[in-house]
Structure 1
C-alpha cells in the first residue's frame, strides 16, 4: 500500500510537471531525480543497502553499529555534495544546457537530502520498523507536491520551480526520515563509532551497490543516451512510458523490501526453502499483470498526459514485456543480499548492463524511444534469468555455500 501511494504521488507529480512545464521540463525533472541520488549512494559506498543488512543480522545488537552508520551517512553526504559541485560544469554541458550553473549547483543539495532520506528508510527496514519505512516511502514522494505548488504560486516557473521544489520537498523528507529514527531510539546511547564495523559496512555496501549501480544503468542509461541524442522532449515522452511500465515493479519492490531483512535474519535452511517456494508465485504475479497494464497504457497515457504523449504508449508496452519477470528478479535479489552474497547479485546486473549498452548504441540512434524500450526490455529478461539461476544454485540442497562466522560478514 505504501509503495502504491508513493507511486501515485510520483505519477501526479510527473503529470503536473508535464502539464505546467511540458515534455522538456519533465525530461530534466526525470534526470534530476536520478543523478543526485546516484551521486549520494556512490559517495556513501552503498550505505543504505548495507545498513539494512547489518541492522537485520546479528550485528544489529552491537551498540557501536548505529553511531558508525550515522558517521558514514554524514561522510557520504559531504563527499557527494563536493563531487556534485565539481561536476556542475560537466553536467551543464552534457545534460542541462538550459539550466544556469547556479541553479544546477542548488539542485546538488538534493544529493544530501536524498541520501539521508533513503538511508533513514533503510534503517527502518533493517530494524523491522515497517510502519516507519512505509511513512518515509510515501513522504519521500508526497512532499514534492506541496513544495511545487508553493513555489509555482510564488511566481517561479519551468525548471526553476522544479529545482526549488525538489530542494524544499527533499529537506522535508529528510526531516521525516531522520525524525522517525529518532522516535524509535536510533540515536540513543553513547557508544563511539567503530572503524572495524565501518570497514565491514563499506565493503558489503560497495559490493551490493555495484549491483544497484548496474541495475540503475539497466534502468536509466537509456534516459541519458536518449537525452543526448534526441533531446529532452523525446526523453520526456519516454519517461512517461517508463514510469507507467514500472507499475509492474510495485508488487515486486514490496516483496523485495520485506524479504531482504527477513532472509538476513532467518536460518539459512529456512531461507533456502522459502525462496524456492516464493519464486514461482512471484513470477506468476507479474506475468499475469502484464496484459492488464498493456491495455491500460493504451487508454490512460493519452487521457492523463494529453495527445502530445500518445507516442509513449508503444514503448510502455514493449517495456512491460521485459518487466513481466520482475517478480522473480525481486525475490532472487532479496535472497542473494540476505544470505550475504551481494557480489552474485552484482554479477547478474553486470550481464544486464552489457545487453543494455550494446543494444542502446545500436537501436536508439535509429529508433529513438522504441529502441530504448526494446534494449531495456531485453536487459531485464537477461538479468532475471541469471538472478533466478544463481538463486536456485545457492538454495539447492548439497550445493549451498555455507555462510561462515557472523551473518554480518561480507562474503
Structure 2
C-alpha cells in the first residue's frame, strides 16, 4: 500500500514541476533555435541539414547499442529498487560497453553514412563524428539518472543546458579556423562533454557520494557488476528501447528519408519546420519526464487514478495553444531564418496538427513505463512507425517536405490516439465496483 505522502495532486506542486520542466525545454528550444539560425546564416539550408543529421544519427546508433539503459534508469532508480546490491557497477558497465560498441559501429559504417547522407563531405570526417556517439550517451545516461533520482532542478538544468551549450561550443572552433561540418562535430562533442560532467556531478551529489562516486563499494559506482541484475535491466530496457527507438524514428525517420532523397538543403528547411511544430510536444514530454519516476513509486490504484485525472486537462491545453502557434508560423520563420526558409511554413503548419494529442500520450507513456509495462508502449508506437515508413516512401518522392509532414502527422495522431485509448481502458473503473481501478500486471509486457 502506498502512503498518503506519495499522493500526486494534479494541481499545485505537480503543476509547478511540469511548468518548470516545460520552461527548461523551452530554453532548450531557444538555444537550439539560436544555434540553427547561426548555422543557417553561415552555411545555408545545407548546413542546417547536416547539423540535423549529426544530432540525430549518432544518438540513434548509441541507443541501439546500449540495451535500453536510458529508458530503464528511472524505473530501477525509483524506490526501493535503487538500493539493489551492485546496481551502479552494473549500470556503469552497460553504459560504457554500449558507448564503445556504438562508436566502433559508427566508424565501421561511416563510409556508407557518408555516401548516403553526406555526399559532399570526406569519409574520414564523418568517421570522426563517431566520437559523438559516446558523448551523447554520456550525457543522456546522466540526465536520465537525474530523472530516476527525482532531482527535478538538476534535470531541468541539464535539459536546458544540453541545447544552450552548443552555440558557444560551435563558435569556438570557428574562431580558431575550423569551419564547415568539422565545426559542427567539434561543437556537438564539446557541448555534450561539458553538460555531461555537470549532470554526473549532480548525480554524485544526490547520492551523497564523495569524489564523484570514484570510491569502491556502496559509496560509488565502481565494483563488480551483477550479471543477473544486468539481464533484468537489459530486459526491461530492451522492451522500452523498442518504444524509445520507434519514437525517435517516428520523430526523425522523415529526416533520414528526406535527406537521402532530396538532399541537405530541402532537409534543412524541413528540420526548421519540425522543430517549430514540436513546441506543442513540450508539455507531453515534460509530463512523461515528471510522471514516469513518480508513478513507478506509487501503488497501482493510485497511479492509475492520477494518470487518468491528468489526461483531459493536457488535451485541452494543447488544443488551446495550437491556434496562436499556427498563426505565428510564417512571421516567425521569415524573421528568424530569412526568406530562403519560406518553404518551411506549410510543412510546419501540417506538423502542428499532428501534435494535438501529444499531451495525453505523454501521460499514457509515463503510466505504462511507471507500471513496468514498457512493451505495451512499444507495441502502440510500432503501429505508428509502419504508417511513417509507408507514407514517407509514398509521399516524399512526389511532394518532398510537404509529403514528409503529412506522413509524420498521420503517424503522430494515430499513435497518440492509441496511447490515450489504452490508458483510459487500463485505468477505467469496473462497472460492478466503483471503488477500485484495475491495474495491468507489472513488468509483464
Q: TM-score, normalization: structure 2?
A: 0.89
Q: Secondary structure at the match of 1:400?
A: coil
Question: Partners of 2:120 and 2:195 in 1: how far apart?
Answer: 27
Question: Partners of 1:168 and 1:122 in 2: how far apart?
Answer: 20
Counterpart for residue 141 of structure 1: 163
Question: Partners of 1:179 and 1:110 in 2: how far apart?
Answer: 20
Deviation at 1:57, TM superposition (A): 4.3
Q: Work out whether 1:285 is the aligned partner of 2:317.
A: yes
Q: Work out whether 1:249 is the aligned partner of 2:281.
A: yes
Question: Partners of 1:274 and 1:167 in 2: how far apart?
Answer: 40
- Judge conservation of contact 1:64–1:194 (CA < 8 Å) in 2: yes
Greater shift in the superposed pair: 61-70 or 351-360: 61-70
- Judge conservation of contact 1:139–1:176 (CA < 8 Å) in 2: no
Q: Work out whether 1:178 is the aligned partner of 2:210.
A: no
1:322-401 matches, cutoff 5 A: 322-398=354-430, 400-401=438-439
Counterpart for residue 166 of structure 1: 188
Q: Work out whether 1:238 is the aligned partner of 2:270.
A: yes
Greater shift in the superposed pair: 303-312 or 56-65: 56-65
Q: TM-score, normalization: structure 1?
A: 0.96
Q: Give unmatched runs, 5+ long, in structure 2.
A: 1-22, 219-223, 431-436
Question: Partners of 1:117 and 1:241 in 2: how far apart?
Answer: 26
Greater shift in the superposed pair: 315-324 or 384-393: 384-393
Question: Partners of 2:363 and 2:206 in 1: how far apart?
Answer: 28
Counterpart for residue 214 of structure 1: 246
Question: Partners of 2:268 and 2:408 in 1: how far apart?
Answer: 17
Can you list the C-alpha shifts for 1:359-402, whole angstroms capped at 9, x where unaligned?
11111111111110011001001001111111122212348355
Question: Partners of 2:160 and 2:271 in 1: how far apart?
Answer: 21
Deviation at 1:189, TM superposition (A): 5.4
Q: Secondary structure at the match of 2:417?
A: helix
Residue of 318, 333, 339 corresponding to 1:301: 333
Q: Secondary structure at the match of 2:77?
A: helix
Can you list the C-alpha shifts for 1:147-174, whole angstroms capped at 9, x where unaligned?
1111111112222211121122222122
Question: Partners of 2:183 and 2:422 in 1: how far apart?
Answer: 46
- Give RMSD over aligned pairs: 1.4
Q: Work out whether 1:67 is the aligned partner of 2:99.
A: no
Deviation at 1:247, TM superposition (A): 0.7
Can you list the C-alpha shifts for 1:26-68, whole angstroms capped at 9, x where unaligned?
1011011011111111100110110111101421122421221
Deviation at 1:403, TM superposition (A): 3.2
Residue of 217, 221, 240 corresponding to 1:190: 217
- Judge conservation of contact 2:31–2:163 (CA < 8 Å) in 1: yes
Q: Work out whether 1:403 is the aligned partner of 2:441.
A: yes
Q: How many residues align?
A: 407
Can you list the C-alpha shifts for 1:227-246, whole angstroms capped at 9, x where unaligned?
11111100000000001001
Counterpart for residue 154 of structure 1: 176
Question: Partners of 1:13 and 1:235 in 2: how far apart?
Answer: 16
Q: Secondary structure at the match of 1:56?
A: coil
Q: Work out whether 1:18 is the aligned partner of 2:40.
A: yes
